[in-house]
Amino acid sequence: MDISVVNALTYDDFVKIFGNVVEKCPLISAAIWSHRPFKDLADIETHITEFIDSLPDSGKEGILRCHPDLAGRDLQSGTLTHESQEEQSQAGLTTLDSAEILRMYRLNSQYKERFGFPFVICARMNKKADILRQLSDRLQNERALEREQAIEEVKKICSLRLHNIVLSDIQTKL
């Protein structure tokens, strides 16, 4: 896909296609629309990163709260977004046994109790064992450090989702 195709999209189509590059945060795509025309994909990514970095801590935590728990209720009930479903599946989280689901549930609950937002990690870059290890490691962090680490993971997820869109045929998304 050429960047000129992206720049020619209507606002509605742009948000339809890019609205979930940050999980359940179409506001971000709506906001960066103001920066058109984009030079290239990296330019879109830079605007998203700058937008996220410009938010106050409460806004960053709001972004984190838009994410479902990994291997959580939405996965069990089939209500994940298409992107999250694919990522959790690639990480091996859709085939956990009941002991692993329970471990994940307990750690996710402790994490949310401590920080007030769900644990976010770039699932496509990690397998289930790394995810469980990082979940228990990051539980030890101070809140400010953890918020920043989690936001860096959001940016990685966003980057992979953007590349996925560009690699796929944009017409099929409209």
Residues found near ligand GUN in the complex (CB under 6 A): 23, 67-68, 70, 84, 87, 118-123, 157
Spatial distance between the Cα atoms of 125 and 66, rounded to a whole number of angstroms = 20
Min dist CB 10 to ligand GUN, Å, is 27
Name the residue number minimizing CB distance to ligand GUN: 84
Name the residue type at position 149.
Q
Min separation Cβ 32 and ligand GUN, Å: 20
CA 119 to centroid of chain Cα atoms: 11
Residue number with CB closer to ligand GUN (151 or 157): 157
Spatial neighbors of 93 by CB under 8 A, at least 6 apart, are: 70, 71, 75, 104, 123, 128, 131
Q: How many CB atoms lie within 10 A of CB 34?
A: 8
CB of 53 to ligand GUN, least distance (A): 19
Give min distance, CB of 129 to ligand GUN, in A. Answer: 15
81 φ, ψ to 5°?
Answer: -65, 160
Q: Tell me which residue has tokens 């298409």.
A: 82
| Residue 10: CB atoms within 10 Å | 9
The residues that are catalytic are: 67
Q: Between 6 and 96, whose beta carbon lies closer to ligand GUN?
A: 96
